[in-house]
Amino acid sequence: MTSSGIVIVGAGQAAAVAAHALREHGYGGRITMLGRERHRPYERPPLSKAVLVAADEPRLDVLTHESWAHSKIDLLSGSDAVALDLVRRHVRLADGQVLAYETCLLATGGEAVTLASVPPGRPGVHYIRTLDDARRLRAALEGSPRVAILGGGFLGLEIAHSALSAGASVTVLERAASLLDRFVPRETSAWLASQMRAAGARLLLGASCSGVHSLPRGRSRLSTSSGDLEVDEVVVAIGLSPNDALARDAGLQIAPGGGILVDASCRTSNEHVFACGDCTSQRRPGQAAPTRLESWQNANEQARTAAAAMQGAPLPVPPVPWFWTDQGRHNVQMLGLPASDLEYVRRGDPANDKVLWIGHRACVPLHGIAINAGADLRALRPLFERGRPVRLEDFQLDATNLRAWAKHMQADVATTASITSL
Ligand SMILES: Cc1cc2nc3c(=O)[nH]c(=O)nc-3n(C[C@H](O)[C@H](O)[C@H](O)COP(=O)(O)OP(=O)(O)OC[C@H]3O[C@@H](n4cnc5c(N)ncnc54)[C@H](O)[C@@H]3O)c2cc1C
């Protein structure tokens, strides 16, 4: 058995940021990182964007060359951790090696949810989670193929836009009657659909796929509620399932909806095991149930929190959740979390492709959505952090200077607070 200080299972975004943060906190012991893939930790957001269309593959490393060297990580790539022993405090690898740990960090991310009728690995079938997946799809997009995308979530829509710019003819099938109806108001959903159609995709809403039949040369025939569809490539983008099996089998607590349950410091139900990133489900202020956030920001922030907690350093203040997606030439950002009971007010006109929505409960901003207005959304961030009511009628007026309004609303809150405390 090899003895190790901190063993990080997973070698993705969260793992790399955590290892770097541990060194920044002064951890001088051994850091061993186990990665199933044969790559150094890399950024996944470009996999559905630039990697599919840019002339040259973009730089994807999570850590710069200098930060990687500074972090002194023993990376065991191509290593699959298959068992975690909480009593003996060791991790067993698929090749039989056993690594002891003082503290273990699980940063195992997630896997694409698969459809039994479209198994991964079949010719002409794509699931996009890894760099190798994206490279395969990029190669398949050469020669203007006909592509069906199953799933009209953010990932499916991004891939559709990329495939269109690579010259493919694209059909997107979404089971729900509108796009992303759990995450955005109807107006935003309608705008996303109009962008998809304007870019040249056939968008089938309320459309289900009941079967996929293999045809010669990797082609497929899809039986859909809108009729049969013959395509060269099928991309399935119907969600993510957290990689929590290792934790579950070890006896760690798993959240009811999946994901390794962690507290505010990213500690699991075992004091020597932490977890961060897409594999977790975390209790958050204002949320009745633990939430899973599958985002780049969450992976980074939880990694920094876990590293601080492991070193007994003060925990960073948890940020308001933030997410971005590129939809063709448009940038969409979201701040806060959606909820079914929010009311949305709008500033700007979707027809002009620059809009800001605030989703609120009793005038307290809880969910912001910006189309090509990321800087404006950033200016509103303090209002989301404060969680106090604001005067939304002024927000909607074109004549209102947004930054001045946001500052005024903060000051207003401060004044109210000081008056109340008298
Ligand atoms: C195509 C794509 C586009 C995205 N676009 C955006 C975007 O625009 N905006 C945004 O905010 N977020 C985006 N995301 C999400 C973001 O990339 C993820 O939230 C982030 O990568 C999560 O980091 P992680 O470290 O938790 O997991 P990952 O980056 O998935 O890393 C986990 C790693 O652990 C390895 N692993 C798992 N189990 C084991 C094991 N037992 N042993 C060894 N290794 C193991 C996995 O192979 C993987 O390499 C996108 C994701 C994808 C896939």
| DSSP letter for each residue of 317-355 | PPPPPEEEEEETTEEEEEEE---TT-EEEEEEEGGGTEE
User: Virtual CA dihedral for 157, 321, 183, 252, nearest 10 degrees?
Assistant: 90
Statement to judge: residues 128 and 217 lie in one domain: yes
Residues of the chain with pLDDT under 50: 414-422
Write down which residue in 310, 338, 353 finishes a domain: 310
3-class DSSP state of 372 = coil
Residue 353: both structure tokens together? 């492709």
Q: Is 318 a member of any domain?
A: no
Q: What is the pTM of this model?
A: 0.95
- In this prediction, residue 417 carries a pLDDT of 41
Statement to judge: residues 119 and 224 lie in one domain: yes
Span between the terminal Cα atoms of the chain, in Å: 64
- In this prediction, residue 3 carries a pLDDT of 55
CATH number for the domain that contains residue 161: 3.50.50.60
Q: How far is CA 318 from the centre of its chain?
A: 17
Q: Is 317 a member of any domain?
A: no
- DSSP code, position 109: -
Write down which residue in 280, 310, 340 finishes a domain: 310
Q: Is 209 a member of any domain?
A: yes
Residue nearest to atom 47 of ligand 1 (CA): 36
Statement to judge: residues 120 and 231 lie in one domain: yes
Residue 251: both structure tokens together? 């006896």
Q: Is 319 a member of any domain?
A: no
- In this prediction, residue 279 carries a pLDDT of 98
Statement to judge: residues 70 and 123 lie in one domain: no
- DSSP code, position 291: B
Q: How many domains does the chain have?
A: 3
Statement to judge: residues 173 and 101 lie in one domain: no
Q: How far is CA 119 from the centre of its chain?
A: 23
**Contact of 342 with 349, CB cutoff 8 Å:** no
- In this prediction, residue 287 carries a pLDDT of 76
**CA–CA distance, 408 with 1 (Å, rounded to integer):** 61
Task: Please work out whether the CB of residue 324 comes within 6 Å of at least one atom of ligand 1.
Answer: yes
- DSSP code, position 252: -
Statement to judge: residues 373 and 296 lie in one domain: no
**CA–CA distance, 396 with 338 (Å, rounded to integer):** 20
**Contact of 89 with 101, CB cutoff 8 Å:** yes
**CA–CA distance, 322 with 330 (Å, rounded to integer):** 17
- DSSP code, position 45: G
Q: Is 323 a member of any domain?
A: no
Task: Please work out whether the CB of residue 255 comes within 6 Å of at least one atom of ligand 1.
Answer: no
**Contact of 110 with 243, CB cutoff 8 Å:** yes
Mutate which of 296, 301, 320 to test ligand 1's pocket (most atoms within 8 Å of Cβ)?
A: 296
Q: Which of 78, 95, 81, 94 is nearest to 40 (CA)?
A: 78
Beta strands in 194-300 (DSSP E): 202-205, 209-214, 220-224, 227-231, 233-236, 240-242, 260-262, 273-275, 280-282
Statement to judge: residues 99 and 143 lie in one domain: no
Statement to judge: residues 149 and 96 lie in one domain: no
- Whole-angstrom CA distances from 219 to 118, 133, 269 are 12, 18, 47
Statement to judge: residues 122 and 230 lie in one domain: yes
Determine the structural domain holding residue 146 and report its residue range: 114-236
Angle, CA of 211, 214 and 218, to the nearest 5° = 135
Atom of ligand 1 nearest to the CA of 245: 41
Residue nearest to atom 23 of ligand 1 (CA): 13
Statement to judge: residues 258 and 227 lie in one domain: no
Q: Is 25 a member of any domain?
A: yes
Task: Please work out whether the CB of residue 45 comes within 6 Å of at least one atom of ligand 1.
Answer: yes
Angle, CA of 190, 370 and 107, to the nearest 5° = 100
Write down which residue in 214, 236, 258 finishes a domain: 236
Mutate which of 278, 330, 333, 335 to test ligand 1's pocket (most atoms within 8 Å of Cβ)?
A: 278
Mutate which of 17, 20, 33, 36 to test ligand 1's pocket (most atoms within 8 Å of Cβ)?
A: 36
Distance between Cα 302 and ligand 1 center (Å): 13
Q: Is 405 a member of any domain?
A: yes
CATH number for the domain that contains residue 401: 3.30.390.30
Statement to judge: residues 246 and 98 lie in one domain: yes
Q: Is 100 a member of any domain?
A: yes
Statement to judge: residues 297 and 350 lie in one domain: no
Altogether, the residues listed in the chain come to a count of 422
